[in-house]
Amino acid sequence: MKKESDMDWLIGGGEMGEIIRAMDWSQTPLGAIASWPQSLRTTVSILLNSRYPMFIFWGSKLVKIYNDGYRPILGSTKHPSALGKPGPEVWPEIWDTIGPMVDEVIAQGKATWSDNLLLFMHRSGYSEEVYFTFSYSPVQDESGGVGGMFCACTETTQQVLGERRLRTLRDLAAQTVEAKSVEAACQIAMKTLAHNPADIPFALLYLLEAEGNHAILAGTTAIAPNTTASPARIELSDLTQACNWSLARVARTAQSTPIIDVIERFGALPGGLWHDPPHTALIVPIASPGQERPAGLLVAGISARRALDDDYQGFLELVAGQIASAIADARAYEAERQRAEALAELDRAKTIFFSNVSHEFRTPLTLMLAPAEDALADTDAPLPPIQRDRIKLVQRNGLRLLKLVNTLLDFSRIEAGRIQAVYEPIDLASLTAELASTFRSLIEHAGMSLLVDCPPLPEAIYVDREMWEKIVLNLLSNAFKFTLTGTITVRLQGFEDRVELAVADTGIGIPPDEIPHLFERFHRVKGARGRSFEGSGIGLSLVQELVKLHGGSVRANSQLERGSCFTVSIPTGFSHLPSEHLRRDEAQGIGVSRILTLDAHFRKYG
């Protein structure tokens, strides 16, 4: 009877309550339950009546008693045998870590606190990486000393692993964004995976060839390429390659497949953080949603210290998904780049064609113009008036064609980067005034007036003389062409950091919606009524290119029927210009060779 009443306190406690009640404690260092001190009874009833995982180590032998909540922590190999056993016998594999902590609690009577402590437990048949957050607390017995130790603990393995894997996925997404090619995406991905050796002891990334017969190694983590385990190229149709990773099957089924005899197939491969060679690897297809067949395959070693559970497999499939989208992005980028390159190549071919054609046109043109000029200038055998008019017409149109060809040549030179600018310090006010004046008689002859306002500038301006001439002459000839009455004004103004050339007219103006397109090549305003219908729509874009070569800009303002103003702005000084094209000594005036160009420029109006 006495015995039964001794057990009265031991009620409830689920499965563990029953096991504890049924156990013959006289065979343990704690002795029969009837002999247990009140302190032990109270502590045991607290833990049995809690659902939180708890256990105690009691007495000098540190005998273990635990509740239902704690059972999963012991795994299949330690429960229920751990009950009533001394702590060091239950946990030999981690006793070197927790033993000193337990001893200290018992000896000092002070509680401990551990946060996500890493332990390697043998509870499921292997050394398993697990994490715990717990506190060890001393329990006083009737003697006033410490009778045992009480622990409430939480296993945080999933949480720690989850955060670590999430970090890898985040890094993978962030790093692979930079990849500009599929190769780079693969390399970066593999490098990123190397930062998580605990979950990915090794990895191989294979890309499947377009026709699907071969897998080509595109990157590795922890294994050098071209070893038996990492062949550079795997024949997928050759099923005799028994020692390979069975990639063919995964390529076909597009289903993740574990290989559980890695050591038998390849020997000891790198074990990652804990150095134990993985016995398992998972082959994961690299496929984006909607893709018919995988782009590649990821061979991921599985940590020997973790089982390949759903979480682990899910993580590796997310890794593969991330790599798949990095590869898809890189492919899209490559395709875009190739398209741009093809266009640039086409553009280069066109430039070369222009350049060759213009060159070829110039020689016969010059050879035609020279006899026409001679015929017109010949006083010994003067042409009869009617022939003279015909030859003049030939000459005028020849000059017009020459100008066009020259402009095309300029353009192709600029585009091919072959134009050799020479920037020299020039008295830009005098040069501009001089250039403008060459138009004076033409303008006045047409009943209009020319206003030249180019006051001296405080410093010489670095320009390529020939280019500046083209800028001024193109703007002036446009002003003349599109103005039938009024005034053409050429104004050069100095500012602190720049000079501005404005060529204004009182001509037909430009519709506002045309202004943004004016500087586009071959663009002409529809229906513009000019002095002549000549023109190619190339002058203004040449002006813009030439101005750009001076580090400047050009803009247009215009009002229909009121007139237009084109303003060129170029920086002063020379720090913005390439030093190898600078000439520091000043040259003056318009060169003789230039006169010929100018002549050709406005004689077409004559």
Can you read off the two tokens belonging to residue 374? 């001679």
Residue among 176, 478, 489, 506 that touches ligand ADP (CB under 6 A): 478
What does the chain come to in residues? 606
Nearer to ligand ADP, 204 or 475 (CB): 475
Contact 605, 448 (CB under 8 A): no
Residue type, 373: E
* Candidates 146-154, 297-305, 538-546, 589-597; binding stretch for ligand ADP (CB under 6 A): 538-546
The SS3 call for residue 309 is coil
Q: Residue 457 has what DSSP assignment?
A: P
Nearer to ligand ADP, 297 or 476 (CB): 476
Nearer to ligand ADP, 160 or 554 (CB): 554
- Shortest distance, position 462 Cβ to ligand ADP, whole Å: 25
- Shortest distance, position 480 Cβ to ligand ADP, whole Å: 8
- Shortest distance, position 342 Cβ to ligand ADP, whole Å: 28
Q: Is 345 left (phi over 0), alpha (psi -120 to 50) or beta?
A: alpha
Distance of CA 557 to the CA centre of its chain: 40
Nearer to ligand ADP, 102 or 518 (CB): 518
Number of residues lying near ligand ADP (CB under 6 A): 20
- Shortest distance, position 509 Cβ to ligand ADP, whole Å: 6
- Shortest distance, position 482 Cβ to ligand ADP, whole Å: 3
Contact 63, 28 (CB under 8 A): yes
The SS3 call for residue 493 is strand
Nearer to ligand ADP, 235 or 534 (CB): 534
Nearer to ligand ADP, 25 or 411 (CB): 411
The SS3 call for residue 519 is coil
Give the separation between CA 276 and CA 299, rounded to whole angstroms. 18
* Candidates 12-20, 39-47, 522-530, 590-598; binding stretch for ligand ADP (CB under 6 A): 522-530
- Shortest distance, position 444 Cβ to ligand ADP, whole Å: 18
Give the separation between CA 162 and CA 309, rounded to whole angstroms. 13
DSSP-assigned beta bridge partners for residue 281: 259, 301
Does the protein bind ligand ADP through residue 546 (CB under 6 A)?
Answer: no
Residue type, 88: P
The SS3 call for residue 408 is helix
Residue among 482, 574, 602, 605 that touches ligand ADP (CB under 6 A): 482
* Candidates 227-235, 312-320, 395-403, 478-486; binding stretch for ligand ADP (CB under 6 A): 478-486
- Shortest distance, position 450 Cβ to ligand ADP, whole Å: 14
Q: What is the CA radius of gyration of the chain?
A: 45
Count of C-beta atoms within a 10 Å radius of residue 420? 7
Does the protein bind ligand ADP through residue 524 (CB under 6 A)?
Answer: yes
Nearer to ligand ADP, 58 or 354 (CB): 354
Residue among 301, 507, 551, 571 that touches ligand ADP (CB under 6 A): 507
Contact 408, 353 (CB under 8 A): no
Residue among 30, 471, 540, 568 that touches ligand ADP (CB under 6 A): 540
As a three-state string, the secondary structure of 524-549 is CCCCCCCCCCCCCCCHHHHHHHHHHC
Does the protein bind ligand ADP through residue 539 (CB under 6 A)?
Answer: yes
Residue among 88, 99, 494, 535 that touches ligand ADP (CB under 6 A): 535
Nearer to ligand ADP, 23 or 446 (CB): 446
Residue type, 439: F
Does the protein bind ligand ADP through residue 537 (CB under 6 A)?
Answer: yes
Contact 499, 426 (CB under 8 A): no
Residue among 479, 492, 549, 570 that touches ligand ADP (CB under 6 A): 479
User: What is the contact mask toward ligand ADP in residues 558 to 587, using x (rule: CB under 6 A)?
Assistant: ------x-----------------------
Residue type, 183: E
Query: Of the candidates 559, 523, 557, 514, which has an alpha carbon nearest to the alpha carbon of residue 542?
Result: 523
User: What is the contact mask toward ligand ADP in residues 424 to 463, using x (rule: CB under 6 A)?
Assistant: ----------------------------------------
- H-type alpha helices, 261-384: 262-266, 310-377
Contact 437, 429 (CB under 8 A): no
Residue type, 315: F
Nearer to ligand ADP, 132 or 482 (CB): 482
Residue among 471, 518, 547, 577 that touches ligand ADP (CB under 6 A): 518
Does the protein bind ligand ADP through residue 486 (CB under 6 A)?
Answer: no
Contact 556, 518 (CB under 8 A): yes
Note the residues at the interface with ligand ADP (CB under 6 A): 478-479, 482, 505, 507-508, 510, 518, 523-525, 528, 535-541, 564
